[in-house]
Amino acid sequence: MISYFYTKINSGVGMTAVSAMLARVVTAVLQILTVRAAIFLIGIDQYSIIAIIVGLQAWFMILDFGGSFSFLNYASEKQAVGKGAQECLACGLIWSIASVLVGTLVLNILAAPAANWLFQNGKIFTKFKDAETALRVGGTLFIIFANTQLISRLWLAEGRGYIANILPVLGSLSTFLIFKLVGLLGAFHLDTSITVLIFCFPNALVQLACLIWVSLKRGVVLSSCDKEFFRVFGKRALQATVFSLQAAFTLQIDYIILSRLANSNEIVIYSILSRIFILLSFVYTSVLTSIWPILSYSIVHRHVAKLRQMIKYLFIFGTAFVVLASAVIYILQDHLFDLMTHGKIIVIPPFLVIFMGLNQLAVLWVSILSQIMQVAGRLNIMIRASFFQLAISVGLQYWLTIKFGITGIVAGVLLSYMIGGLVPLIFFVRLFLRKLEGEELIRATG
């Protein structure tokens, strides 16, 4: 088992996985420090506004309309059969440009009613224009960020994901340094829109600059995109959009519910703990993302035994990591909040950290199984598997939040993951692996 991972670490994929873990951990730590600096500058109440807008990032990321997923999938498949991933880039760029235009149009249509619904509930905003402007600023930058991920996907497909892992570190470091600089200036006033701009602009700028640079350097011509390939590319991208939309309703409804039911202190508690626990998810999602090309190769060439071995190791080491890290967070939670809120006394619900740890465990298990289906291009199966989870998640989160506060929202997500996500995925993945074994046997005997 140890030798297996040692071999992988010494490979290109291993370098990508290790660099991704390090980069995401550094990024998450920088984001936590950034939150601390922001709370010092603008206070708990105003930060609760920022937390909701930043917490809506996943909704804005849907407005790449599945382009980054489709690009990574096709690029990985072409690499697996010895073809270059670059020939997909022209089609990906066309899709991204169109997605930015459509996405910003959708944002401008929905910004005013969305801001009114989210923030005009007597708890957070008193000035409607502040809410609307902040939402437009954050949304626009998130849409640009979502549609410039092609460069990271290209490097990942080419086995150079370790280069892409530097980008979020640069963005997060820039954001943190800007907040520290503003703090040193002292007299500079930060309103909500400017704060959102500082949170979102660096990451979008770094990715956009890299995408433009690589496209120019490689001489990518948009007209080189084959129309038939683009049609198939778009079909797979739109399937991914449906899945992403379902996932957002299932997993990213939390900040929307919080904006309606929670007070500022509860929103800040939830936001801080989410950012701490995202350290865990960054570690295992970086591994999952990094092994995407290996999974694609194993599926294309029907190496079922290798697939089973990888799934086994991912479950064993991933579970051990999440359990241990959650225990450490539980022990240190009071000290962490004292540090983050500059000594302000905030009462943390007694079982919140435990439920968040269990939730991360469920997310890990579902992520491992769902990635097998995604790499295999079985998005229709993914959509069906997540439909029941979607149906119960929103209702559970809303009802349990009314009953138990912010602990209820985490419990709702956990239950939806276990009942609506994990159980059907286990069934579908087993069927898929058996089908691959049958194809492998036919090919071996044929």
Check residue 7 and give its pLDDT: 47
Tokens 């509930």 sit at which residue?
A: 121
Using CA atoms, how far residue 142 sits from 27, 62, 188, 208, in Å, is 17, 10, 25, 12
Q: Calculate mean pLDDT across residues 417-433.
A: 82
Q: Calculate mean pLDDT across residues 228-249.
A: 76
Range of the domain at 17: 2-445
Check residue 417 and give its pLDDT: 83
Check residue 8 and give its pLDDT: 47
CA distance linking residue 331 with residue 353, whole number of Å: 10
Q: Calculate mean pLDDT across residues 109-133.
A: 70
pLDDT band at 159 (very low <50, low <70, confident <90, very high): low
pLDDT winner (highest mean) among 168-182, 342-356, 363-377: 168-182
Answer whether 240's CB lies under 8 Å from 66's CB: yes
Residue 423 region by backbone torsions, left for phi larger than 0, else alpha for psi between -120 and 50, else beta: alpha
Q: Whose CA is closest to 31, among 256, 278, 266, 285?
A: 278
Number of domains in the chain: 1
Lowest mean pLDDT among 120-124, 144-148, 172-176, 284-288: 120-124
Check residue 370 and give its pLDDT: 81
Predicted TM-score (pTM) of this structure: 0.73
Q: Whose CA is closest to 376, among 264, 236, 278, 242?
A: 236
pLDDT band at 401 (very low <50, low <70, confident <90, very high): confident
| Three-state secondary-structure class, residue 390 | helix
Please report, in angstroms and rounded to a whole number, the separation of the first and last CA atoms in the chain. Answer: 33
Answer whether 89's CB lies under 8 Å from 220's CB: yes
Using CA atoms, how far residue 299 sits from 69, 252, 323, 372, in Å, is 17, 30, 30, 9
Percent of the chain with pLDDT over 70: 81
CA distance linking residue 242 with residue 204, whole number of Å: 24
Q: Whose CA is closest to 360, among 323, 332, 396?
A: 323
Tokens 């450490």 sit at which residue?
A: 328
* pLDDT tens digits, 301-352: 777 788 888 888 888 888 888 899 889 888 888 888 887 776 666 778 888 8
Q: Calculate mean pLDDT across residues 207-211.
A: 86
Tell me the average pLDDT of the chain: 78
126 versus 312: the higher-pLDDT residue is: 312
